[in-house]
């Protein structure tokens, strides 16, 4: 973006900006050439599609307002979010509050920050998107609490998958498992393929909240540790239980599905606690 000495933004420069910067447009959609460069004339609340925050629960209110904006604007993965300054002016909150929420979304794998470029949407959002609480997803003392909740959700998802999985969903699980096994035998680990297998189980459970919450929990672990689910020692110990878990779900055996899920989780939790102790997180 380029300003002349009078503080006016030139149209050809504005056209190079991402469409997310609509909060700098007038109500009829024309480019507002006088309200971008000079700080006293930044967009007024009446023209701002991001709603100002009036509640005491600022972090969650900012999160909700930003989500509403993303949904209303129809932003898709790869689209750029408003700049930090635009968010500060639109929401009437400070820089630290904005950064806390962006870090939260980054920890959950919903946005990515590209240095020198901005913040970009990484995953689609909708009105039905549910977030982990800020205190759990981004604070280190929430790690063990997250493990406990994850255990309950994982077990229930596997039980429901054993009860509800359709033939097509079972076939999807089989395909994901076989791909995971092939990569594991080749490399000794298969972190991304392991995730895809578990996501197929969550989908088969028939409740989209399982996939949303469990994937966020997994990514919150990855915000603390580098590739925790791709370590060879972890993969080697948990790998045999995945075939047993699939067989239990495919045969509709809820008790065995529960048993093998807990076997996998025991390895996961031991590894994460060990990594946390090594890095003084717990």
- Mean pLDDT for the stretch of residues 124-146: 60
* Contact assessment for residue 92 and residue 52, using Cβ atoms and an 8 Å cutoff: yes
Give the least confident one: 6-10, 109-113, 126-130.
6-10
pLDDT of residue 202: 96
Same domain flag for 212 and 246: yes
* Contact assessment for residue 156 and residue 201, using Cβ atoms and an 8 Å cutoff: no
Last-in-domain residue among 74, 98, 121: 121
Same domain flag for 181 and 213: yes
Of the pLDDT bands very low, low, confident and very high (cuts 50, 70, 90), residue 235 is: low
What CATH number corresponds to the domain at position 229? 1.20.120.530
Label the pairing between strands 111-114 and 118-121: antiparallel
215 falls within a domain: yes
- Mean pLDDT for the stretch of residues 25-51: 42
Of the pLDDT bands very low, low, confident and very high (cuts 50, 70, 90), residue 106 is: confident
Residue 28 has pLDDT above 60, yes or no: no
* Contact assessment for residue 210 and residue 153, using Cβ atoms and an 8 Å cutoff: yes
> How far is the C-alpha of 269 from the C-alpha of 149, rounded, in Å?
12
pLDDT of residue 180: 93
Q: Which residues contact 8 (CB under 8 A, 6 or more apart)?
A: 33, 34, 37
* Contact assessment for residue 62 and residue 104, using Cβ atoms and an 8 Å cutoff: no
Of the pLDDT bands very low, low, confident and very high (cuts 50, 70, 90), residue 27 is: very low
**Can you give the residue range of the structural domain that contains 208?**
134-278
Same domain flag for 111 and 223: no
148 falls within a domain: yes
Reported residue count of the chain is: 282
pLDDT of residue 47: 42
Same domain flag for 152 and 191: yes
Of the pLDDT bands very low, low, confident and very high (cuts 50, 70, 90), residue 81 is: very high
Q: What is the pTM of this model?
A: 0.56
Same domain flag for 47 and 90: yes
Among 148, 157, 141, which residue's Cα sits nearest to residue 197?
157
Q: Within 10 Å of residue 268's Cβ, how many Cβ atoms?
A: 21
The highest-confidence range among 12-26, 95-109, 184-198, by mean pLDDT, is 184-198
Of the pLDDT bands very low, low, confident and very high (cuts 50, 70, 90), residue 132 is: low
Give the least confident one: 1-15, 16-30, 142-156, 163-177.
16-30
Same domain flag for 110 and 142: no
* Contact assessment for residue 158 and residue 249, using Cβ atoms and an 8 Å cutoff: yes
2 falls within a domain: no
Residue 32 has pLDDT above 60, yes or no: no
Q: If residue 121 lies in a helix (H) or strand (E), which one and from where to where?
A: strand 118-121
Among 10, 88, 11, which residue's Cα sits nearest to residue 42?
88
Same domain flag for 97 and 174: no
Report the percent of the chain where pLDDT is more than 90. 30
Same domain flag for 57 and 140: no
Of the pLDDT bands very low, low, confident and very high (cuts 50, 70, 90), residue 134 is: very low
Same domain flag for 64 and 151: no
pLDDT of residue 280: 58
Last-in-domain residue among 94, 121, 148: 121
CA dihedral 139, 141, 144, 145 (to 10 degrees): -70
Q: How many Å separate Cα 223 from the centre of its chain? A: 11
What CATH number corresponds to the domain at position 116? 1.10.10.10
Among 95, 99, 100, 75, which residue's Cα sits nearest to residue 85?
95
Same domain flag for 146 and 257: yes
Quick one: tokens of 110?
């919903």
Among 83, 80, 87, which residue's Cα sits nearest to residue 121?
80
1 falls within a domain: no
Residue 40 has pLDDT above 60, yes or no: no
* Contact assessment for residue 41 and residue 49, using Cβ atoms and an 8 Å cutoff: no
Average pLDDT, the chain: 75
Exposed e or buried b per residue across 175-197, where buried means at least 16 C-beta atoms within 10 angstroms of its C-beta: ebbeebbebbeeeebbbebbbbb
Give the least confident one: 26-30, 105-109, 112-116, 171-175.
26-30
């Amino acid at each position: 973006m380029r300003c002349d000495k009078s503080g006016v933004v030139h149209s050809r420069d504005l056209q190079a900006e991402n469409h997310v910067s609509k909060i700098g447009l007038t109500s009829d959609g024309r480019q507002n050439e006088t309200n971008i460069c000079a700080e006293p004339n930044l967009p007024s609340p009446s023209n701002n599609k991001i709603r100002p925050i009036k509640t005491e629960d600022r972090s969650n209110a900012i999160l909700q307002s930003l989500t509403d904006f993303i949904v209303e604007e129809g932003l898709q993965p790869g689209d750029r979010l408003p700049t930090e300054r635009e968010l500060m002016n639109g929401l009437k909150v400070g820089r630290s509050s904005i950064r806390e929420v962006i870090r939260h979304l980054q920890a959950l794998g919903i946005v990515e920050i590209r240095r020198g470029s901005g913040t970009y949407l990484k995953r689609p959002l909708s009105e039905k998107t549910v977030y982990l609480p800020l205190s759990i997803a981004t604070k280190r003392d929430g790690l063990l609490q997250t493990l406990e909740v994850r255990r309950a959700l994982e077990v229930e998802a596997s039980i429901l998958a054993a009860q509800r999985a359709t033939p097509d969903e079972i076939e999807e699980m089989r395909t994901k498992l076989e791909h995971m096994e092939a990569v594991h035998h080749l490399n000794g680990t298969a972190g991304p393929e392991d995730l895809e297998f578990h996501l197929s189980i969550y989908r088969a459970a028939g409740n989209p909240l399982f996939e949303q919450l469990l994937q966020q929990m997994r990514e919150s672990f990855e915000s603390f540790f580098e590739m925790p689910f791709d370590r060879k020692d972890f993969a080697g110990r948990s790998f045999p239980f995945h075939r047993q878990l699939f067989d239990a779900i495919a045969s509709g055996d809820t008790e065995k599905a529960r048993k093998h899920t807990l076997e996998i989780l025991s390895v996961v939790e031991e590894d994460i606690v060990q990594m946390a102790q090594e890095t003084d997180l717990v």
